[in-house]
Structure 1
Amino acid sequence: MKTLVIEDSTSSLKLLCSYIEKIGISTIPAENGATGIDLFLSEHPDLILLDIILPDLDGYEVARQIRLLEPPGEWTPIIFLSSMNKDKDIEMGIAAGGDDYLLKPISEVVLAAKIRAMQRIIQMRQSLLVLTRKLDSANQELKRLTSLDGLTGIPNRRHFDEVLAREWRRAMRQGEELSILMCDIDFFKNFNDTFGHQKGDECLRQVANALADSLDRGGDVLARYGGEEFIAVLPGTTLEGASFIAAQMRQSICQLNISHPDTPFGKVTASFGVASAVAMPETDPLKIVGAADTAMYKAKKSGRNRVFRTTSLDPQED
């Protein structure tokens, strides 16, 4: 523990430092306010003893500047030293940022007791900060876990809904287009019936990874929408751009070469629907999700393993 002692009297400064060093605490002496502030910044003391009467800045101003210089969330105890004992003087010291007030002449016993008390407060505060950081970390991890699908490890539908609402608001502010891409694995029930649910789960994980790998922009979000369905929100992406991404995704799933005899393709494939719109206040973003969903089912009815895009009025095959 280090204590910064700001005292203009050389004899008093030496005496105070000797008192403090007797209880095993190192000292940083300063004979004026400006030097004290500089040492506070360079030495990062754990405690400050601050005389109110100083040759340059008074102790109140030094305390105020130190409080302004402290990083957010940091706190260094300040004990004022003064021969002024009026209630108003003590009130001014606390208002300036002080934490305690010792009257001169300073008693060695009282000073040691005050410092030990401050040590306990510092230790308790540090313990509380450690606990707070652990809780913050645990809360962040819990939030992350609750936003992920437990099977595939990608975001879940709840997280997708939050992202869609946020990105829709942002797109409205910037007058941008936003696209939705939906994907459904073809004949997945048959796959489960043939190979069992464990193989089905592994298939979902591989497909999710392939879809995620096809997205290379930070703002794009892929989520598991439910069962064998996946959905992606593509901010700032045109219908053409989203259709191109969907085509890449369709090809990446084919390239997995997951055997599926109970399908015309002999392997796992997926059907895609894409919809896009310029964000407008009067438009519900869920309508674009519905349009992409409709396009996806048109892709399935047209033979599966393909991409359909829509302006919500005129679905067409890519």
Structure 2
Amino acid sequence: MKTLVVEDAKTSLAVVCHHLERLGNIPVPASCGAQAIELFQSERPDLVLLDVVLPDMDGYTVARRIRDLEKPGEWTPIIFLTAMSGDADLEKGIAAGGDDYLQKPVSDVVLRAKIRAMQRIVQMRHSLLVLTRKLDAANQELKRLSAVDGLTGVANRRMFDEALEREWRRSMRQGTELAIVMCDVDFFKKFNDTYGHQAGDECLKKVASAMAKAMERGGDLLARYGGEEFSIILPDTKLGGAAFVAERMRHSVAQLKMPHAGSHHGQVTISCGVSAFVASPETSPEALLLAADQALYQAKQAGRNQVCRMSTAPAPCPAP
């Protein structure tokens, strides 16, 4: 254990350092406040024994400077060395960032007891910090899992809905276009009927992976919308750009060349519908989704394995 000892009286400094060495500690001596602050920065001690009366600044000022130098989450025990024992002096020391005090002249027995007590506190605090970090990591993992589709590993419907609301508000603020791509695995029910549900799950995994690899921007989001349907959010993207991304995804899936006897294409393919427009109070995210869904319907009606687009939001239903 490394202990910074701040004491201007040479005899007292030597005595305290000697006591520490007998206890198996490594003393780091300092005779003034400025030197103490410099040594604290360079040595990063585990404990500070700090005289209240120093030639350049008082120990309370040194304690406050030490606390300012500590990084978030750090804590170094500070024990004041003082001949004063009044309540007001103790209160002032605690307010400055101290944790305890030792009355001078320092007793070897009391010093040993104080150090052991501080060591226990440090150990308990370290254990608590480790536990807190583990809990934080577990919470982050739970948060991640709650946003990820368990089968395909892409975002789930919940994350998609949250991201769409967020990007919709951004589009409205910035006046930029927001694009949606809706994709469906063609004849997926026939695939399941022919090859079984386990093969169907593997098919969805491969399709999701191929689509994800076709995406280049970090801000875009691919999600499993439900069943064999996937959705992609493309912020700040015009209709032509979104159609280009959709076509790249369609081609990426086709390149898998997964056999599909139930499809007239002979392999697994996807159909995509694309929509894009600037968000406004007169429209809604649901309108954007509906436009992409209608474009997807057109792609299916036109023979599947293709991309269709719809640039305008469907007209709102007339009021009853």
Q: TM-score range by the shorter chain?
A: over 0.9
Check 1:233–1:95 CA distance in 2 against 1; reply closer, same or farther (3 A cut).
same
Aligned partner of 1:244 in structure 2 is 244
Mapped to 2, the partners of 1:265 and 1:177 lie a distance apart of 34
Instruction: Return the alpha-carbon distance in structure 1 between the equivalents of residues 276 and 50 of structure 2.
Output: 65
Distance 1:280 1:29 in 2: 68
> Matches of 2:61 and 2:283 in 1, distance apart?
57
- Of 271-280 and 39-48, more deviation after overlay is shown by 271-280
- Counterpart CA distance in 1 for 2:71 and 2:171 is 36
The residue that corresponds to 2:39 in the other structure is 39
Question: 1:231 aligns to what?
Answer: 231
SS in 2 for 1:265: coil
Query: Cα offset for 1:253?
Result: 1.3
Cα separation, 2, equivalents of 1:289 and 1:241: 17
Q: Secondary structure at the match of 1:35?
A: helix
> In the aligned structure 2, how far is the partner of 1:281 from the partner of 1:14?
76
CA distance in 1, matches of 2:43, 2:167: 46
| Aligned residue number for residue 18 of structure 1 | 18
Verify the 8 A CA contact 2:260 2:267 in the aligned structure 1.
yes
Looking at structure 2, the residues matched to 292 and 225 of structure 1 have their Cα atoms a distance apart, in angstroms, of 13
Equivalent position SS for 2:265: coil
Whole-Å Cα distance in 2 between the matches of residues 230 and 259 of structure 1?
A: 20
Amino acid at match of 2:15: L
Tell me the residue number matched to 2:318.
Answer: none
SS at match of 1:297: helix
Q: Which moved more, 1:255-264 or 1:213-222?
A: 255-264
Question: 2:57 and 2:162 mapped to 1: Cα distance?
Answer: 53
Are the equivalent residues in 1 in contact too, given 2:8–2:54 (CA < 8 A)?
A: yes
Distance 1:27 1:10, change over 3 A: same
1:101 is matched with which residue? 101
Asked if structure 1 preserves the Cα contact closer than 8 Å seen for 2:149 and 2:224, the reply is yes
Structure 1: state its 5+ residue gaps.
Answer: none
Residue 282 to residue 29, structure 1, CA distance change in 2 (3 Å): farther
- Residue identity in the other structure for 2:57: L
Deviation at residue 313 of structure 1 after TM alignment: 4.8
Q: Compare 257-266 and 56-65 and name the one that shifted more.
A: 257-266
Q: Percent identity?
A: 63
- Asked if the contact 2:192/2:200 (under 8 Å) is kept, the reply is yes
Report what 1:264 is aligned to. 264
Which amino acid in the other structure matches residue 248 of structure 1? R
Cα deviation, 1:45-91, whole Å, max 9, x if unaligned, reads: 01101111101111111111111110011000111111122211111
Residue deviations 1:113-155 (CA, integer Å, cap 9, x gap) = 0110000000000111111111111111122122111111111
| Partner residue in 1 for 2:183 | 183
Aligned partner of 1:50 in structure 2 is 50
> Do structure 1's residue 311 and structure 2's residue 311 form an aligned pair?
yes
Q: Which moved more, 1:33-42 or 1:281-290?
A: 281-290
> Secondary structure of the equivalent of 2:150?
coil
1:232-285 deviation line (CA, Å, top 9, x unaligned): 111111111001000111111111111112222111111101111223355422
Say which SS state the counterpart of residue 230 (structure 1) adopts.
Answer: strand
Q: Displacement of 1:43 after TM fit?
A: 0.5
Report the counterpart of residue 276 of structure 1 in structure 2.
Answer: 276
TM-score by length of 1: 0.95
Deviation sequence 1:10-47 (CA, Å, 0-9, x none): 11111111111111111100000111011111101011
2 and 232 in structure 1: CA distance in 2 versus 1, 3 angstrom threshold: same
* SS of match in other structure, 1:277: strand
Shift of the alpha carbon at 1:165? 2.3
Residue matched to 2:30: 30
Q: How does 1:204-223 map to 2 (within 5 A)?
A: 204-223=204-223
Show the counterpart of 2:80.
Answer: 80
2-structure distance, mates of 1:157, 1:166? 14
Correspondence for 1:166: 166
Match of 1:122 in 2: 122
SS at structure 1 position matched to 2:151: coil
Read off the aligned partner of 2:135 and give its amino acid letter: L
Q: What is the SS of the residue equivalent to 2:266? A: coil
Q: Name the residue aligned to 1:67.
A: 67
Describe the shift of the 1:172–1:67 C-alpha distance in structure 2 as closer, same or farther (beyond 3 A).
farther
Letter in 2 for 1:27: P
- Pick closer, same or farther for the CA change 1:74–1:152 going to 2, 3 Å: same
Matched AA of 2:268: V
Distance in 1 between residues matched to 2:286 and 2:86, nearest whole Å: 68
- Please say if 1:8 is aligned against 2:8: yes
Tell me the residue number matched to 1:202. 202
Q: CA deviation at 1:168?
A: 2.6
